[in-house]
Structure 1
Amino acid sequence: MRDPLVRAELKRAGVWFGIAVALALTVLLIQPLMLIFAGLVFASMLDGGARLLGRALPIGRSWRVGIVMIAALAFIFGIFYWTGVEISNQAAQLWVTLQAQGTRFVAWLSGMGLVPAQRDLMEFVRQAMGSLGRITGYVNTAFGAITSAFLVIVIGLFIALEPRLYERGLAWLVPTRQRRQFEITLDRMAHTMRRLMAGRLLGMVVEGVLTWIALSIGGVPMALLLGILTGILAFIPNVGAFIAGVIMVAVGFSAGVDTGLWAIGTYVVVQTFDGYVLLPYVARKTVDLPPALTLGAQILLGTLLGFMGLLLADPITAMIKVWLERGSEQEEAKAGETTTSPMGRGRDAPGASG
């Protein structure tokens, strides 16, 4: 052990062993890690609201976070209080309608010979849904979903109340010479996350309200519930809009061809407005993620991590993008320092001797 070569080899072996252990723990603990990241996403929403409120109310941060939390809960419970009975009735009717429309569609495909019999197809659908992700233990049951949501809210609330405390704790895990750059990266990530979530919430509200109004004008059944579902699914780009469109069109055609065509027109108009007006504006103010990149991340994370991976694919991709951009900036800064150093100028100067 006194031999420097032996100590160097042991240190090198320890690094590789530590990496292997870290990867194994990541695989084993992926569920709580995803819940913690979801808590960070929720904390960014609370933090953004508290910062926005701080421009008008010069009060303590804890009070501002509490006001934002209470306002959000009051908004949610207020909607369900005023429309709870209507939403409950429409939800039961929606499930029956979707089952009937799905059975008719599958029967039509089977009659055309495009798909196997209905029993085999339903078995295929169950297998496909089961292969979305093997790590979905926290959201497989209603109790698990409620528990997960409660943990996300608690984690996000604690982090939003004292964000600097947790930033310092993460910085302690980084070598001293790299802490300053690490803190800058964390600030960039937090700033990007706040803006990304603000854009998501704006898109959810706009899509939900526009869908509700348009479907109500066209006489499509369950317009209020469809608007709420469209707004909620708008949190998941690409995939959420497709699912909302399928549900909307199925309900529209259940009431007739005219309402079905109106539902298709509503979906096209809302998604066109969202894709060509709202999203470009939000992207300029937040983070510009290419649609193909976002969809690819959703496919990968949804397959690996199930519903939680699909739900958090967009924030995870945005954070990875910020991290890579910061790494590129640091590399460029180091290259610039090397080029402008006296020794660098001596090597690159014209006429310098070999």
Structure 2
Amino acid sequence: MEQNSPASNNLSFKNKVWLTAGILLLLLVVAYLFSTLLNLLLLVLAGALVSIYFHACAGLLTEKLKIGSPYALIISVLLNLIIVSLFFWFVGARLNSQVDELSQKLPQTIDNAKRWLSERPLGEKILNYSTNSLESGKATSTIKAFFSSTFGILSDVYIVILLAMFFIASPETYRRGVIHLVPTKGKKTAENLYDEIHRVLKNWIKGEIFGFFFIAVLTGLGLWILGMPLVLTLALIAGLLNFIPNFGPLIALVPAVLLGLMQGPNTALLVLGLYTFIQIVQSTVTQPLIQKKMVSVPPALLIVGQVGMGLIAGFWGVLLATPVIAIIMTLVNKLYVEKQEGENENNAA
């Protein structure tokens, strides 16, 4: 019986090592290309969402005022620009002073929070951990990462605005382009899918805008009743961060609770209770109404999607996780689930 020589075994082992290394390298390259491509696709999606918003406003104007679509689109863009400009004209100065006041008060607020924590056993452990992190340089690296990511986001916003301008100008061109990529046999299905995804995204935008105003107004009213400072700033922060499900409200809570601690522990607890109450109302009343008009995304799936996309694509991944998951669920429902249900009904008949 022929036996393998030590030299051939050694060669075989080397080949396996090189093969394994090659596969790992290929996987790393694929992962890098996927993350880069995902970032690009998310910017395209963000531009498309801006375009859908303006076209939805134009459709509303066409329906109510009976004017042509091109004129309605121009009026839609101009009207939104005027509203934003007027907002910053009337509120900007006050908002700017409140932001300055917040930046001046934060050091004192943090000192008060440290003092309050140091009086409690668990708080002392938290302070020790924070001090060790500062000494090890973790805070410095975090700050550097924050500023580098901020500048990256600003450049991405510029790209999103450019893409949105092109999408707003001629959406049908891109719609036809996408459908032309599909073989003739599947063009009708592609058109239906495109229109369904457009409907889902439009309803998501409507829901998010409603959620922004709902959260901002309710938060501002509640903080005003509690006698909190910087009501306008905190209300806007809460409304804007509501665009990020699950994590956004937690981030918005931090400055509000810190400022509440300046008024006293009881005020901080009242602020915490207010934010919790608002989130309960939103999740039990407004959120179900929004999800009726779009694909219902299970909360656990949304959290997993946010964390996963955040790890891969950062800020844009977390921000756009909901529409991305809604698109995927729409594709699965239309291409697989409904088809399977139809086949089962035919077999049963």
Shorter-chain TM-score tier = 0.7 to 0.9
Tell me, yes or no, if the aligned pair for 1:46 and 1:68 is still in contact at 8 Å.
Answer: yes
After superposition, the Cα gap between the structure-2 partners of 1:334 and 1:177, relative to the gap in structure 1 and judged at 3 Å, is: farther
Give the corresponding residue for 1:70. Answer: 78
Give the corresponding residue for 2:206. Answer: 198
Matches within 5 A, 1:251-290: 251-290=259-298
Counterpart secondary structure, 2:125? coil
How far apart are 1:159 and its partner, in Å? 1.6
- Code of the residue aligned with 1:121 in structure 2: it is S
Task: Report the Cα distance in structure 1 between the residues aligned to 2:188 and 2:31, rounded to whole angstroms.
Answer: 26
Task: Report the Cα distance in structure 1 between the residues aligned to 2:164 and 2:197, rounded to whole angstroms.
Answer: 16
For residues 201-255 of structure 1, the C-alpha deviation after alignment (integer angstroms, 9 at most, x for no partner) is 0000111011112211221010011111111111111111111122211112222
Task: Report the Cα distance in structure 2 between the residues aligned to 1:281 and 1:337, rounded to whole angstroms.
Answer: 30
Counterpart secondary structure, 1:236? coil
Give the corresponding residue for 2:247. Answer: 239
Task: Report the Cα distance in structure 1 between the residues aligned to 2:319 and 2:76, rounded to whole angstroms.
Answer: 23
How far apart are 1:293 and its partner, in Å? 1.7
Tell me, yes or no, if the aligned pair for 2:200 and 2:293 is still in contact at 8 Å.
Answer: no
Tell me, yes or no, if the aligned pair for 1:233 and 1:241 is still in contact at 8 Å.
Answer: yes
After superposition, the Cα gap between the structure-2 partners of 1:242 and 1:85, relative to the gap in structure 1 and judged at 3 Å, is: same
Query: Which of residues 27, 49, 54 is equivalent to 2:62?
Result: 54
Query: Which of residues 128, 133, 138 is equivalent to 1:121?
Result: 133
Tell me, yes or no, if the aligned pair for 1:101 and 1:250 is still in contact at 8 Å.
Answer: yes
Task: Report the Cα distance in structure 2 between the residues aligned to 1:149 and 1:50, rounded to whole angstroms.
Answer: 23
Deviates more, 1:255-264 or 1:309-318: 255-264
Higher helix share: 2
Query: Which of residues 295, 309, 314 is equivalent to 1:301?
Result: 309
Task: Report the Cα distance in structure 2 between the residues aligned to 1:106 and 1:262, rounded to whole angstroms.
Answer: 19
How far apart are 1:53 and its partner, in Å? 2.0
- Code of the residue aligned with 2:313 in structure 1: it is L
- Listed as ranges, the gaps of 5+ residues in structure 1 are 1-19, 346-354
- Code of the residue aligned with 2:314 in structure 1: it is G
Tell me, yes or no, if the aligned pair for 2:133 and 2:139 is still in contact at 8 Å.
Answer: yes
Tell me, yes or no, if the aligned pair for 1:65 and 1:161 is still in contact at 8 Å.
Answer: no
Matches within 5 A, 1:1-354: 25-105=33-113, 112=121, 113-115=124-126, 116-122=128-134, 123-124=137-138, 139-141=149-151, 144-329=152-337, 331-332=339-340, 335=343, 339=347
Tell me, yes or no, if the aligned pair for 2:302 and 2:321 is still in contact at 8 Å.
Answer: yes
- Code of the residue aligned with 2:97 in structure 1: it is N
- Code of the residue aligned with 2:130 in structure 1: it is Q
Counterpart secondary structure, 2:310? helix
Q: Scaled by the length of structure 1, what TM-score is found?
A: 0.79
Task: Report the Cα distance in structure 2 between the residues aligned to 1:101 and 1:292, rounded to whole angstroms.
Answer: 35
Counterpart secondary structure, 1:55? helix
For residues 272-313 of structure 1, the C-alpha deviation after alignment (integer angstroms, 9 at most, x for no partner) is 221111111111233322222212111111111111111111
Tell me, yes or no, if the aligned pair for 1:50 and 1:68 is still in contact at 8 Å.
Answer: yes
Give the corresponding residue for 2:19. Answer: none
How far apart are 1:61 and its partner, in Å? 2.2
How far apart are 1:334 and its partner, in Å? 7.1
Tell me, yes or no, if the aligned pair for 1:289 and 1:318 is still in contact at 8 Å.
Answer: yes
- Code of the residue aligned with 2:206 in structure 1: it is A
Number of positions where the alignment pairs a residue of Structure 1 with one of Structure 2: 317
- Code of the residue aligned with 1:295 in structure 2: it is I
Give the corresponding residue for 1:16. Answer: none
Task: Report the Cα distance in structure 2 between the residues aligned to 1:94 and 1:287, rounded to whole angstroms.
Answer: 39
Tell me, yes or no, if the aligned pair for 2:113 and 2:258 is still in contact at 8 Å.
Answer: no
For residues 2-26 of structure 1, the C-alpha deviation after alignment (integer angstroms, 9 at most, x for no partner) is xxxxxxxxxxxxxxxxxx9987644
- Listed as ranges, the gaps of 5+ residues in structure 2 are 1-27
After superposition, the Cα gap between the structure-2 partners of 1:321 and 1:102, relative to the gap in structure 1 and judged at 3 Å, is: farther
Give the corresponding residue for 1:13. Answer: none
Counterpart secondary structure, 1:114? helix
Task: Report the Cα distance in structure 2 between the residues aligned to 1:259 and 1:108, rounded to whole angstroms.
Answer: 14
Deviates more, 1:25-34 or 1:172-181: 25-34
After superposition, the Cα gap between the structure-2 partners of 1:125 and 1:21, relative to the gap in structure 1 and judged at 3 Å, is: closer
For residues 89-136 of structure 1, the C-alpha deviation after alignment (integer angstroms, 9 at most, x for no partner) is 11122234344434544566577342335342344456678899xxx9
Q: Could you tell me the percent identity over the aligned residues?
A: 27
Tell me, yes or no, if the aligned pair for 1:43 and 1:160 is still in contact at 8 Å.
Answer: yes
Tell me, yes or no, if the aligned pair for 1:62 and 1:161 is still in contact at 8 Å.
Answer: no
Task: Report the Cα distance in structure 1 between the residues aligned to 2:35 and 2:280, rounded to whole angstroms.
Answer: 39
Task: Report the Cα distance in structure 1 between the residues aligned to 2:115 and 2:252, rounded to whole angstroms.
Answer: 22
Give the corresponding residue for 2:15. Answer: none
How far apart are 1:177 and its partner, in Å? 1.2
After superposition, the Cα gap between the structure-2 partners of 1:96 and 1:156, relative to the gap in structure 1 and judged at 3 Å, is: same
